[in-house]
Structure 1
Amino acid sequence: MDGILPIDKPRDMSSRKLCSEVKRLLNARKVGSSGTLDPHASGLMLLCINNATKLISVLQRLDKEYIALARFHTDVTQAQLSEVLEAFKGEIVQLPPKRSSVARKPRKRCIYELRLLEFSPREAKLYVKCEAGTYVRKLIHEIGTRLGGAHLQELRRTAIGYFKIEDAVSFEEFVKSENREGFLLPMEECVKHLKRVTLKWGSVRGALKGAPIFRPGILECEAPPEKGEVVAVFTPSNDLIALGKWVGGNVALMIDRVIRPEYKPNKKRWEKRVHGGSLS
Structure 2
Amino acid sequence: MKTLILPLVLLAMISCTDKKSADKQRLCTELYTDDHPFMPMDIKAAVVKKSLWPHSVNFPLRITVKFLNGTDFQKNKVREYVKLWTQASADGVEYKFHEKKKINFRFIPYDVTTSGNNADIRISFGNGGSSSYIGIDCKTIPQDQPTMFFGWINESEPEESIKQVVLHEFGHALGFIHEHQNPTANIPWNKPEVYDYYRRTQNPPWSKEKVDRNVFERYSTSSTNYTAYDSLSIMHYAIPSFLTNGGYSTPWNSDLSPTDISFVKQIYPYHPCYVNESCCYDKNGKKILCN
Normalised by the length of structure 2, the TM-score is: 0.24
Greater RCO (Cα-Cα under 8 Å, separation 6 or more) = 2
**TM-score with structure 1 length normalisation?**
0.24
Larger Rg: 1
